[in-house]
Structure 1
Amino acid sequence: MDWRALPSLPALRAFDAAVRTGSYSEAARTLNVTHAAIAQHVRALEKHFGQTLMTRAGQGMAPTPEGALLATHLTEGFDTIGAGCARLSDITAMRPFTLSCTLAFAENWLMPRVSDFWAKHPDIELAILPNNALVNFKTDLVDCAVRYGHGAWPALTATPLLTGEFIVVAAPQLAPAQPVRNMAELGDVVWVTNDIPGEHHVLVRDFGFHAPDIRMRTFATNGLVLAAVRSGLGFSIQSRSLIGRDLADGTLVEVFAKPTEGLGYWIVHPEGAETQRLRLFKRWLLSHV
């Protein structure tokens, strides 16, 4: 199909609306444009085809035989487009709403709360993809993500969810008897971390340690790290936002805090892609902060 040989889509929509309603004024209201805009589009079509397409019929307008022929094909075409869009919307609605998030966020923050979402929104099937790799919204079937960072990602809308302060935690039996004034006082303890580069990066860069100077036990996931720390196997640096329940019930105690400026967990999705399901899920996430 040579699209350059076709009239403009706005002109075809205006003509279709004029035929369906039998009035330029009603067509204008239908398309939320002016009467003059409808008339101008129809004249443009008549010039394009070299045919009179609309004529007066009492107080309204009616298609000429040539106009009726065009209108028949436009009706079929627009109805087909509408059916295709409706079908795609149905498929999208049936597809699970998919969230990508880090393993730590899924294990420590989302899992204790997600039953509330399912109870409040039983019609929304939520699929959770815990993965420490960044999602590609252009190729992955993901509706939104929860990411850790500064909130500045190109072409993405980022809504702040949780602050990103990191703290040193330990089981109560390992906690120092006296308050820790600086990290140098913890230079001889055993540290528990995961083998994700970002965790080690935080430990080394933001807390002033050097890898050769510390004793470290490494586990595959943050869930295993926390299980080890709860069992008294060492100290760990964790996001305060993700271990609130452990701190509240005394399973873990805070040993030292170090503010991390600007960092936090963000709800992220492509710009202009906020569906009804996404709005509901974002509202639910924010209600639990």
Structure 2
Amino acid sequence: MDIRLSPSLLAWLRSFDAAARHGSFTKAAAELCITQGAVSQQVKQLEDWLRRPLFLRTPRALVTTPEGKWLAVVLRESFDAIESTLAQMRQPPEAATATLSCSPSFAMSWLTPRLGEFFRQHPQTGLRVFGEFHTLDRTRMVRDGVEAAVRFDLSHYPDLNATVFLDEWLVPVASPEFIQQHPGIHTPQDLQGDWLLHDGSAWDGADTFEEWQHWFAQQGVPPPAWTGGQQFNLSQLALGAALAGQGIAMGRAALVLQDVRAGRLVPLLGRSVASRAVYSFVTTHHPSPTMQQVRDWLGEEARRFCEERAKVMPPLLVK
């Protein structure tokens, strides 16, 4: 039988691959930037063309049939091979400007102030940093031309190279003015819910109150009711509110160390807590020489930062 990969068939296969990986038409649609109905229709057209079902559609889940599993494996291997080859062929010349996607708060507070040192060490290298925090996978990186990324999350990247270069310490911080106005803060139980400032998206997929919940759990005490505490979509915004005396933010050491050193923010309660999330340098399996330089430089800068952090921030709580 002569079967040619027509544009229609390729589109159907792409939609099926995304739906099989995510187990959801909705998530597949988000990845492919089309509607959920379009993904469902394209998968249905593929099933009609094959004359066999590829999914069992239940109210709670999308489950591949045995034939669907077989096709999903073959497609993933094929697409991986194509994407890997494209990534290698699309390497920019050494003189070109490389692009690094980075979590916005980390880019502003930690990375950008240190870039001068990178350019001093690599004067012939161009590097452009842009802030974003959407979830990465190999398909998106190749499609969007993202050469490498820095992410603050749980570092789960099964189809990419992820190098953890820095851990994170969490400690509540407030302005000296706020502490002066609320002198009775001596234990975690003294913290009131309406004082707390929240980064409502610490990383993609994190719970709204992730960092405060984790901090209280490590202290071994229940958290207060969250009602009344302000919520933001960037850690930098919560820290800005703390600097303005509006409450207590959960400070990440990488973002607050200079403010603590300068006395603009004061750590509370004397102990830092290790965050569940870490900073990872994420690339495809064949990073360019420029991105290998960036990765090595980040590791060295992180080592120096950890030495400074240990001198400035409250010691880590060990359980």
Same fold (TM over 0.5): yes
More strand, by proportion: 1
2:190 to 182, 185, 188: 185
Report the 3-state secondary structure (helix = DSSP H, G, I; strand = E; otherwise coil) of the residue aligned with 2:157.
Answer: coil
Query: Structure 2: how far apart are the matches of 1:193 and 1:277?
Result: 36
Q: Which residue of 2 aligns with 1:245?
A: 258
8 Å CA contact 1:190–1:214 kept in 2: the answer is: no
User: What secondary structure sits across from 2:141 in the alignment?
Assistant: coil
Deviation, 1:109, is 0.5
- Give SS of 1:158's match: strand
Tell me, what secondary structure is at the counterpart of 2:134? Answer: coil
**Residues 233 and 240 of structure 1: CA distance in aligned 2, closer, same or farther (over 3 Å):** same
Q: Provide the C-alpha distance between the structure 2 equivalents of 1:196 and 1:238, rounded to a whole number of angstroms.
A: 14
Unaligned runs of 5+ in 1: 1-84
Q: Give 1:211 deviation, angstroms.
A: 8.5
Query: Which of 202, 208, 223 is residue 210 of structure 2 equivalent to?
Result: 202
Cross-structure match for 1:269: 283
Q: Is the 8 A contact 2:166 2:280 kept in 1?
A: yes
- CA RMSD between the two structures: 2.9
**Aligned CA distance change for structure 1 residues 107 and 199 (closer, same or farther; 3 Å):** farther
Would you say 1:166 and 2:170 are equivalent positions?
yes
Q: Which residue of the partner structure matches residue 100 of structure 2?
A: 99
Partner of 2:268: helix, strand, or coil? strand
Is the Cα contact below 8 Å between 1:247 and 1:254 reproduced in 2?
A: yes
SS of residue matched to 2:109: helix
Query: CA shift at 1:180, angstroms?
Result: 3.2
Asked if residue 235 in structure 1 is aligned to residue 248 in structure 2, the reply is yes
Matched AA of 2:243:
R
For the 8 Å contact 2:212–2:250, the answer to whether it is kept is: no
Aligned to 1:255: 268
SS where residue 153 of structure 1 aligns?
Answer: coil
Distance in 2, matches of 1:180 and 1:191, equals 15
8 A contact 2:109–2:254 mirrored in 1: no
CA distance in 2, matches of 1:169, 1:160: 25
TM-score after normalising by structure 1: 0.60
1:40-94 alpha-carbon deviations (Å, 9 max, x no partner): xxxxxxxxxxxxxxxxxxxxxxxxxxxxxxxxxxxxxxxxxxxxx9xx6784435
User: Could you tell me which amino acid in structure 1 is paired with residue 134 of structure 2?
Assistant: A
**Distance in 1, Cα, partners of 2:111 & 2:130:** 12
Residues 187, 214 of structure 1: 8 Å contact kept: no
Pair 1:201–1:95, CA change in 2 (3 A)? farther
Counterpart for residue 12 of structure 1: none
Residue 264 of structure 1 and its aligned partner are, at CA, apart by: 1.2
Query: Is the 8 Å Cα contact of residues 198 and 230 (structure 2) preserved in structure 1?
Result: yes
**Residue 285 of structure 2 is aligned to residue 285 of structure 1:** no
Partner of 2:123, secondary structure, is: coil
1:133, CA displacement in angstroms? 1.0
**Counterpart Cα distance in 2 of 1:90 and 1:254:** 45
Q: State the 1:262 CA deviation.
A: 4.8
The count of residues paired between Structure 1 and Structure 2 equals 201
What is the rounded CA distance, in whole Å, between the counterparts of 1:161 and 1:259 in structure 2? 18
Tell me how far apart the structure 1 counterparts of residues 207 and 159 of structure 2 sit (CA, whole Å).
26
Secondary structure in structure 1 of the residue aligned to 2:113: coil
Unaligned runs of 5+ in 2: 1-85, 217-221, 303-319
Per-residue CA distance 1:127-177 (angstroms, 9 max, x = gap): 112012123323221121111223331022222222122211111222364
Residues 275 and 91 (structure 1), Cα distance of their counterparts in 2 relative to 1, 3 Å cut: closer
Aligned-residue sequence identity (percent) comes to 21
1:16-51 Cα shifts (integer Å, max 9, x gaps) = xxxxxxxxxxxxxxxxxxxxxxxxxxxxxxxxxxxx
Quote how far apart the aligned CAs of 1:235 are.
Answer: 0.8
Alignment CA distance shift 1:213-1:278 (3 Å): closer
Per the normalisation by structure 2, the TM-score is 0.55
Task: Using the TM superposition, give the Cα deviation of residue 202 of structure 1 relative to its aligned residue in structure 2, in angstroms.
Answer: 1.5
SS in 1 for 2:152: strand
Distance 1:224 1:268, change over 3 A: same
Q: How many Å separate the matches in 2 of 1:262 and 1:120?
A: 32
Structure 2 residue matching 1:168: 3-state secondary structure: strand
How many Å apart are 1:214 and its aligned residue?
A: 3.5
Residue type of the partner of 1:144? A
Q: Distance in 2 between matches of 1:156 and 1:226?
A: 32
**Counterpart selection for 1:147 from 151, 168, 173:** 151
Is 1:217 the counterpart of 2:230? The answer is yes
For the pair shown, which has the larger CA radius of gyration, 1 or 2? 1
Q: Residues 7-22 of structure 1: matches in 2 within 5 Å? A: none
Quote the offset at 1:277 in angstroms: 0.6
Structure 1 position 248, deviation (Å): 1.5
